[in-house]
Amino acid sequence: MKKIQISPSILSADFSQLGNEIKRLEEGGADMIHVDVMDGHFVPNLTIGPPVIKALRNYTKIPFDVHLMISPVHKYIKDYADAGADIITIHPEATDNLIDSINLIKKFNKKVGVSLNPDTKLNIIENVLDQIDLILIMSVFPGFGGQKFMPEVVEKIKNLKEKKDTKNFDFDIEVDGGINFDNCKTVIEAGANILVSGTTIFKENNGNIKKNIESLKSK
């Protein structure tokens, strides 16, 4: 079994202090930093682009887990690779050719992630499971932080874990959306080994990041 990792979402950070927030996350034991990139088109919100990621890269060496919620995504992959992303995660619906986009991410020596919205079926990625480093299961519809976890995705996580074990694939299973102390154990038991959390990490226990990260791992 893979060790449980926590990827805090900076969507819940203080945007006026992002560099310091990154340092706080590293000191608190974050395994990677989850960066939500939204274009106001694929999802109904706007966040940050390559220049911000490039600037933040100077504050830490831990991996940047960059989730691209932009469409069309293919032509922007190089920009995020150059900015310092370590993992680039895309949505199948946001590219004309998923295999081409996967190969482009690999060309830049980055890890490949594919994200599935709550209503996106697993079979859409059946033919590329052996080419992916990470599958991100969304447990909310992407666009805004602070949403409630959708328990119906637990079955999808279990099904994905079963496919992974049956074929001996090595990809990580990441879950993002409403992850907190009440549901983290459920998603880990279902098969997830990376948890994305924003509000819980930055707000619970008076913002004690270290305590919150440890609690998410050990619940």
* 132/91 Cα distance (integer angstroms): 12
Closest CA to 11 of 208, 197, 174: 197
For 81, phi then psi, to 5°, come to -65, -45
Contact assessment for residue 66 and residue 33, using Cβ atoms and an 8 Å cutoff: no
* DSSP-assigned beta bridge partners for residue 116: 137
Provide the 3-class DSSP secondary structure of residue 152.
Answer: helix
The one catalytic residue in 31, 36, 133, 172 is 36
36 is annotated as an active-site residue:
yes
CA distances for 175 relative to 28, 113, 138, 146, angstroms: 20, 12, 6, 14
The one catalytic residue in 100, 170, 176, 182 is 176
Q: Which residues are catalytic?
A: 36, 176
